[in-house]
């Protein structure tokens, strides 16, 4: 269609200020298609009056109304114009490429994020990907089009024939913006705006009385804000406030993104395009199908919130901290509630990154599988689509990907989709959940936040650039990005800067029991369920390892094989024995060299941080077929059929240890480095296969016939004798007391796996009397091995179990040992243990645990520390009142040193709570209220503290430095100090605000402090007068050894003179 128009002399538009003055604008000849007209700079108001002069039938000119603000619209002419536009093939094809305007605009009526080019065909799908994440200026430079800014796609419908009304539906419609609605045509709204920059739309709720500034109000249409808008009387069937054909629809009917689970009461599915609906059904069927057999067992594991803190060095890296058991905050609710609660804290239209952390075998992939299944069953209605991508499928050097490849072509059962599905996903990224499983297998994770990220088009690029675009919020901005990773040492920045961090807690005892029961149900051997549980409970070490889903499954597999052989089945007592029992029968029937060849592959791949095997890497086709038949390797999800992966990370570690034990290529002198107990400064060993040290010691030291001999034959295992001698010399040279807590635990595990009495006794003899595990994670296997070692030594120990995350059962098993005489643990964890013992009626153990518990010395660094200390005192008071005796808890009675360091904000709030319980610590000798960040308890805090002096008769050191104390506080302190005259040895008032009055009051009481030896009043504000008062009083105190008195308010000459008078005065 061609649009021919006569050229008017001038066109007049009102000023935005409503001044009545008019601006002239020349309108040149308008020729070409309607697309050219729409993209021109012509004013829509002027275009309408121009068209009103034309007779479409005979092209006869009519007189143009000289008063545009009183003119009325000819709806029939306007409808005919749009019909002619529709008849243009070019225009019709352009509109056909734009989808779902009425649904999109109405579900975001505030016009948030309109940034897509209207005519997708002219931009192309490739530009649509990049422009959806760019700002308006960049989009205009690329496309050379004057289009409105947006963060999502804007689409239009082909307009049907019939009357069209141009009406406002927003509360405050900016200048140059009109909204068109077709009554009875299904068209919700179309925005017509002056070509140029899109004006900002007010987000005020709609009101029919709001007028549009700079647009003249038609006198014969009350309530109208445009000369084009008909009155309410002209549209009797439409609601007055909005005047839209969709006003009576519910929110569910208007939204195309509601999950089917939310429509159980409705018989209609969301109004999606047919291709999108088909893809949704296929994706749901893909994740809803459970694997057959034990692979399909889903036991939901718990998640715990994780906290980070900056590392001790100068770097800005943040590390995971180990929380006490009571501090761990489990993520409450179902999987969907966890994600929904995390998404409530993010900003609108921003990508949310959630990280799920956990050691190998803790159930991260298990949790992802449960998440996918929950979405397929309708339990995650906030997401339209979910995509699960195993990271080992994309980390291949040289491979390139597009965003479509990442979403549809990877993972298990790749799906084929068309551009319509992909464009829909790009329009609604906030309804997308993207899961990257095993994120630690990607190299250079730190570079994702800083490297050039995000392709500028749909061209294929490296996975590094593609993931960088996701992390930098340039691709799929607004989606939810879920990562699962195995943290090792320093946490990658892409993980540490996630919006939410969780950790997989592993199986509890009840969950492990549930898994065992379901395993034998799936295997069809329900008669073995109780017997299998009895076998597991008979081996406490394996029972402690059952918190790991991987070990729990291995135990079930071995139990099933043993129970089929007879009733005299018994599980081994070590992890090495567990995997020897699993692999031994299959190894005896394997092709020659199959196990050794597979073990070599496991070791070599582990050195390069990989677990996937390609077809050409196997020694032979027979070895590959044998490994698949034995379940040692399995198909890699999302990879070609020829690519396999080890069935578990722990199995790969075991096979790597088998290679080290049997290989003649490994030099004997290099073998100790693989235990990773004494890391080298130069070229340290990368212990990525972290299970290798324990398996290696177990394979080398355990009897040949039932260990290496059962795997490779006695002849092949003879080479391990020499390696055993090398490891024995190395391990016996170690001094357990000199190792850090983490390496000491690893040494205990290695000694346990060896089943060698000599090595075990050597390690036990080297254990120090005081064992501190402060800040070191203690898992259930750690507590079991540590308890066994302590009990076997026959000596007494004291333990520091703070910040270890030890569970209540593990804490009770350790502190209940007769060889443990004292222990320190978090107050909250200890109180919880006491309450548990009291509920179970274990009075004797409860009394013993209370006597062993100590808090010496105690440092309060948070409000929780003060509250826990208060709870401990309350328990003592309750105990005294219930037993009718003044007996005190040893932890309270024996406290000698108490530090208070909460800082200037929490300090003044928490100090009154501390003062209320100070009198309970009758043996307190050192009270330190100084903090680098200054507690600032002030004069009021000093007054409160002074009231407790009568009960603190053993106090020897009182440090009140940096607490914002003035003369008022100094006077209050001086009045109460004689109560401590017999015990106080050191008093520090360093860096306060004490002036001459305060110095005089201290000088007056100084002779009465017969036990005082050191007084520090440096960096205060008293002058030479106050200093002279202190000096004069010092002459009467021969017992005082030191008076630190330098302050900038005293002239240096005066200070030197005073020091000459008394050498006990210290300057500096």
pLDDT tens digits along 622-633 = 999 999 999 999
Residue entry with tokens 């064992």: 771
Report the share of the chain in percent with pLDDT over 70: 66
Q: What is the mean pLDDT of residues 14-26?
A: 40
pLDDT at 426: 87
Q: What is the mean pLDDT of residues 348-359?
A: 84
Q: Hey, how many other C-beta atoms are within 10 angstroms of the C-beta on 696?
A: 27
State the Cα–Cα distance between residues 1008 and 1002, nearest whole angstrom. 10
**Whole-angstrom distance, CA of residue 873 vs CA of residue 831:** 11
pLDDT of residue 244: 33
pLDDT in tens, 34-62: 555 555 555 554 554 444 444 443 444 43
Predicted confidence at residue 501, as pLDDT, reads: 85
Q: For residues 654-671, give the mean pLDDT.
A: 90
Segment 853-882, tens digit of pLDDT: 999 999 999 898 999 899 899 888 887 665
Cα distances from 563 to residues 527, 566, 577, 884, in angstroms, run: 10, 5, 17, 57
Does 489 score more than 50 pLDDT?
yes
**Cis ω for the linkage preceding 967 (within 30 of 0):** no
Q: How far is CA 410 from CA 13, 374, 393, 406, 435, in A?
A: 57, 20, 7, 6, 12
- The encoded tokens of residue 860 equal 């309060």
Question: How many beta carbons lie within 10 A of that of residue 794, not counting itself?
Answer: 8
* pLDDT at position 346: 62
pLDDT recorded at residue 347? 66
Rg (CA), the chain: 39
Q: What per-residue confidence (pLDDT) applies to 193?
A: 43
Mutual angle of helices 575-588 and 594-607, in 10-degree steps? 130
Digit-coded pLDDT (tens) for 944-955:
999 999 999 999
Query: So what's the pLDDT on residue 228?
Result: 35
CA–CA distances in Å: residue 252 to residues 325, 429, 808: 43, 19, 48
What angle is formed at CA 349 by the lines to CA 345 and CA 354, rounded to 5 degrees? 50
Buried b (16+ CB within 10 A) or exposed e, 991-1000: bbbbbbebbb
Residue with tokens 């990005």: 481
**How many alpha carbons fall within 13 Å on the CB side of residue 89?**
0
137: Cα separation from own chain's centroid: 34
pLDDT tops 90 at residue 824: yes
More confident residue, 207 or 896: 896
User: Which of the pair, 250 or 751, is modelled with greater confidence?
Assistant: 751
Q: Can you tell me the mean pLDDT for 537-546?
A: 92
pLDDT exceeds cutoff 80 at 4: no
Whole-angstrom Cα distance, residue 698 to residue 675?
12
Choice among 70-74, 381-385, 732-736 with the minimum mean pLDDT: 70-74
Percentage of residues in the chain with pLDDT exceeding 90? 34
Angle between helices 649-662 and 692-701 (to 10 degrees): 40
Cα 194 to chain centroid, rounded = 45
Tell me what pLDDT residue 462 has. 75
More confident residue, 114 or 994: 994
SS3 46: helix
What is the pLDDT averaged over residues 58-81?
46
CB 943 within 8 A of CB 969: yes
Q: Give mean pLDDT, residues 647-657.
A: 94
If DSSP states are collapsed to H, E and C, what string results for 77-142?
A: HHHHHHHHHHHCHHHHHHHHCCCCHHHHHHHCCCCCCECCCCCHHHHCHHHHHHHCCCCHHHHHHH
pLDDT score for 90: 55
Higher local confidence (pLDDT), 450 or 724: 724
Please report the pLDDT score of residue 92 as a whole number.
52
Is the distance from CB of 495 to CB of 487 less than 8 angstroms? yes
Label residue 638 by pLDDT band (50, 70, 90).
low
Average pLDDT score over the chain = 75
Distances (CA, A) of 333 to 185, 637, 777, 834: 45, 29, 26, 28
pLDDT at 1058 over 80: yes
Nearest to 595 by CA among 606, 608, 580, 609: 580
CA dist 604 and 608 (Å) reads 7
Bridging pattern class, strands 644-646 and 633-635: antiparallel
For position 455, what pLDDT does the model report? 52
pLDDT of residue 313: 52
Mean pLDDT of 818-847: 90
User: What pLDDT, on a 0 to 100 scale, did the predictor assign at position 293?
Assistant: 66
Q: What are the helix (H) ranges across 977-1022?
A: 996-1005
pLDDT at 764: 94
DSSP for 720-737 reads HHHHHHHHHHHHHH--GG
Alpha helices by DSSP H, listed for 221-294, are 251-254, 274-288
Per the CB < 8 A criterion, the answer to whether 477 and 429 are in contact is yes
């Amino acid at each position: 269609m061609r649009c021919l128009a006569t050229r008017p002399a001038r066109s007049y538009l009102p000023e935005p200020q409503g001044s009545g003055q008019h601006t002239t604008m020349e309108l040149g000849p308008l020729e070409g298609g309607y697309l050219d007209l729409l993209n021109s700079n012509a004013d829509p108001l002027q275009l309408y009056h121009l068209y009103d002069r034309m007779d479409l039938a005979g092209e006869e000119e009519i007189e143009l109304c000289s008063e545009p603000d009183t003119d009325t619209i000819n709806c029939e002419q306007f409808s005919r114009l749009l019909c002619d536009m529709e008849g243009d093939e070019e225009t019709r094809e352009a509109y056909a490429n734009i989808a779902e305007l009425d649904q999109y605009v109405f579900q975001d009526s505030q016009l948030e994020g309109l940034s897509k080019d209207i005519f997708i065909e002219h931009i192309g799908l490739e530009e649509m990907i990049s422009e959806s994440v760019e700002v308006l200026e960049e989009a205009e430079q690329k496309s050379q089009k004057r289009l409105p800014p947006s963060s999502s796609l804007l689409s239009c419908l082909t307009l049907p024939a019939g009357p069209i009304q141009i009406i406002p539906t927003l509360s405050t419609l900016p200048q140059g913006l009109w909204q068109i609605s077709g009554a009875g045509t299904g068209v919700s709204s179309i925005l017509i705006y002056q070509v140029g920059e899109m004006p900002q739309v007010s987000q005020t709720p709609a009101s029919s009385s709001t007028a549009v500034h700079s647009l003249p109000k038609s006198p014969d249409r009350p309530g109208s804000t445009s000369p084009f808008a008909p009155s309410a009387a002209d549209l009797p069937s439409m609601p007055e406030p909005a005047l839209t054909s969709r006003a009576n629809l519910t929110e569910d009917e208007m939204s195309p993104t509601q999950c089917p689970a939310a429509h159980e009461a409705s018989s209609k599915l969301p109004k999606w395009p047919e291709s999108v609906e088909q893809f949704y059904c296929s994706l749901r069927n893909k994740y809803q199908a459970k694997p057959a057999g034990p692979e399909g067992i889903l036991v939901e594991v718990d998640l715990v919130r994780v906290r980070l803190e900056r590392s001790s060095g100068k770097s800005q890296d943040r590390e995971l901290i180990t929380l006490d058991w009571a501090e761990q905050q489990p993520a409450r609710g179902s999987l969907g509630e966890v994600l929904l609660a995390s998404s409530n804290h993010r900003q609108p239209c921003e990508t949310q990154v959630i990280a799920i952390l956990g050691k190998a075998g803790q159930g991260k992939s298990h949790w992802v599988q449960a998440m996918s299944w929950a979405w397929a069953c309708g339990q995650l209605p906030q997401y339209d689509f979910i995509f699960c991508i195993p990271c080992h499928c994309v980390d291949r050097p040289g491979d390139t990907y597009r965003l479509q490849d990442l979403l549809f072509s990877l993972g298990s059962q790749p799906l084929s989709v068309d551009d319509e599905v992909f464009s829909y996903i790009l329009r609604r990224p906030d309804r997308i959940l993207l899961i990257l499983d095993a994120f630690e297998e990607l190299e250079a994770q730190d570079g994702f936040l800083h490297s050039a990220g995000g392709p500028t088009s749909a061209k294929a690029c490296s996975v590094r650039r593609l993931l960088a675009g996701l992390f930098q919020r340039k691709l799929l901005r607004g989606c939810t990005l879920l990562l699962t990773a195995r943290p090792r040492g320093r946490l990658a920045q892409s993980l540490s800067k996630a919006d939410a961090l969780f950790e997989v807690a592993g199986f509890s005892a009840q969950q492990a029991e549930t898994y065992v029961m379901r395993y034998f149900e799936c295997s069809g051997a329900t008669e073995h369920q109780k017997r299998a549980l009895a076998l597991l409970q008979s081996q406490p070490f394996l029972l402690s390892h059952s918190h790991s889903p991987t070990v729990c499954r291995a135990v079930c597999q071995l139990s099933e094989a043993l129970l089929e052989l007879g009733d005299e089945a018994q599980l081994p007592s070590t992890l090495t024995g567990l995997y020897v029992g699993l692999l031994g029968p299959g190894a005896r029937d394997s092709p020659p060299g199959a196990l050794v060849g597979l073990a070599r592959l496991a070791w070599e791949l582990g050195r390069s941080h990989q677990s996937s095997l390609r077809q050409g890497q196997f020694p032979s086709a027979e070895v590959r077929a044998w490994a698949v038949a034995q379940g040692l390797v399995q198909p890699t999800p999302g990879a070609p059929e020829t690519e396999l992966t080890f069935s578990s990370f722990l199995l790969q570690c075991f096979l790597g240890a088998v290679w080290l034990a049997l290989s003649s290529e490994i030099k004997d002198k290099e073998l100790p480095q693989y235990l990773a107990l004494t890391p080298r400064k130069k070229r340290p060993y990368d212990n990525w296969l972290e299970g290798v040290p324990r398996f290696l010691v177990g394979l080398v030291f355990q009897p040949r016939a039932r260990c290496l001999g059962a795997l490779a034959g006695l002849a092949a295992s003879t080479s391990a004798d020499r390696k055993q001698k090398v490891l024995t010399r190395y391990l016996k040279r170690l001094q357990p007391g000199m190792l850090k807590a983490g390496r000491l635990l690893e040494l205990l595990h290695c000694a346990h796996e060896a089943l060698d009495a000599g090595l075990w006794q050597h390690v036990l003899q080297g254990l120090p009397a005081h064992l501190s595990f402060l800040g070191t994670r203690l898992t259930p296997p750690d507590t079991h091995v540590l308890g066994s070692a302590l009990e076997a030594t026959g000596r007494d120990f004291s333990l520091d179990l703070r910040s270890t995350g030890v569970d209540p059962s593990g804490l009770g098993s350790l502190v209940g040992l007769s060889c443990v005489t004292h222990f320190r643990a978090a107050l909250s964890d200890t109180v919880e243990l006491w309450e548990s013992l009291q509920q179970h009626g274990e009075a004797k153990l409860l009394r013993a645990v209370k006597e062993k518990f100590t808090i010496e010395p105690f440092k309060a660094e948070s409000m929780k520390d003060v509250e826990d200390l208060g709870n401990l005192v309350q328990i003592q008071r309750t105990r005294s009142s219930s037993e009718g005796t003044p007996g005190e808890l040893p932890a309270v009675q024996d406290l000698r040193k108490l530090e208070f360091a909460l800082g200037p904000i929490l300090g003044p709030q928490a100090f009154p709570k501390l003062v209320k319980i100070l009198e309970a610590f009758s043996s307190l000798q050192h009270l330190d209220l100084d903090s680098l960040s200054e507690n600032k308890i002030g004069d009021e805090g000093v007054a409160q503290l002074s009231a407790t002096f009568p009960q603190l008769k053993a106090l020897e050191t009182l440090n009140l430095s940096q607490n914002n104390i003035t003369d008022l506080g100094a006077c209050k302190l001086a009045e109460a100090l004689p109560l401590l005259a017999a015990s106080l040895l050191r008093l520090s008032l360093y860096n306060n605000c004490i002036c001459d009055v305060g110095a005089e009051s201290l000088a007056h009481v100084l002779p009465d402090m017969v036990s005082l030896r050191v007084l520090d009043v440096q960096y205060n504000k008293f002058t030479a007068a106050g200093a002279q008062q202190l000096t004069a009083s010092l002459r009467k105190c021969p017992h005082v050894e030191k008076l630190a008195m330098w302050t900038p308010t005293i002239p240096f000459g005066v200070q030197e003179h005073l020091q000459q008078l008394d050498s006990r005065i210290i300057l500096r």
